[in-house]
Structure 1
């Protein structure tokens, strides 16, 4: 098959930063190419328009564009036109539910939407109100899809219910992970008392609870350290442009001295940090694939 992916992120040195969504797509893309399938990846919201190939995958960077009026609609139509021009020999295209990027699009190939976790889903899980615009875009996008994929039954069935969709088009396909990349030749070699958290610095990831817990950990284990890895983000509750600055204020003065925030780091560096950590901590409050 020739499979295309439309995504806002993908972990590659020539694209902008990527999080869990992009990493999960890359793991799948690498495996599909290995099995002999052709893959084309469209990454929107980029700093330039560029087409390049790497390790058997054709990448299309689609530059972000500002419009004086109707920017949300106009940029989607721009993506639609660009993607359709490059879907000639593609069999199927996958897009995420997040922000309803395929709203108003008429793609020339069957569209599968993967429930990575929409704003609608997370607002429901967290019990907070949702902007009507976000709901409108995501609803418009998902109702036009030919099929749906979710990593868990809960995420899939909850998303279908929230959008009023039927279950017969849903397939549960858990995320894949290249475990060979995380093989630890010497698991006894690690940094004692080092806690590691990986993920976007955002309220729903439980970062405030983690800070409060670490304050207590340091009281009992003075040598304990905490390493945080992930992009900073605005805080939906306070309106602050930096969740990290709020989390930082949650630490006691003593605990803050034991915390290292690395921000975004390359994927291979994340692997090494995991190997060196004593304990990996993920206190997330809302996910599509919880532990």
Structure 2
């Protein structure tokens, strides 16, 4: 693990790159637990010496930040991408409860809206995987009660079943053709033993018409899940049609000439307008390949997995 990380995009302290948040106090919580900070198992794995205690890590970090001055915050945004985006959803209301009553608190989930869907073989791979994660980490007791009172803990690891009950203002930023989800949920290796999807996964331009049809159907299912959350006067939304994963921590996709544009608006401006209550941004892009501002980022093995 690298000891130092460059703060860019939404974490940048340069006004020209991050006009709405450059002068905020910015903290990056390093991801270390494999369960979006929901794990809590007392026993240590004797074979690996692994500690599945992400929820305790989360609480310890919050307590330290509160002691350092966050308890006096007037504005706060809990954000994250991928597994961090999922964590932002799962901990959104509990984060709000830590801060003063009058504070303006909001949550931003970037590429964290993982979809409960079947893979190209028809199997429920991701549902089984999430069930194993929740079981291994003992996550059930730390998932939102508003969901676990109705559904199994494994189902409550999917944002589509959790986000409707979130009371804190939430912004969902996601690519409808999320490159990580295409590779690991729609066409995981187990469902693609002969590697027919490998070229397509590396670059959407390589996809055969039949594969594009599958991806277009995935987009429709994704949009159905997002729209199924219901109408909200506080929920922001920027759903583009780029083939990418995570867009708030890379300068080119956040606020620069290569940022995806919806309604003549960059991601940074859409999020800033929503945080400062200038405009409630809620836009869904047209289907691929309609948006010329999309610069599809190839997913590489070095990209951090979401779980």
Q: Same fold (TM over 0.5)?
A: no
TM bucket by the smaller chain?
Answer: 0.3 to 0.5
TM-score, length basis structure 2: 0.37
Report the structure number with the largest CA radius of gyration.
1
Could you say which structure has the greater relative contact order, defined with CA pairs below 8 angstroms and 6 or more residues apart? Answer: 2
TM-score, length basis structure 1: 0.38
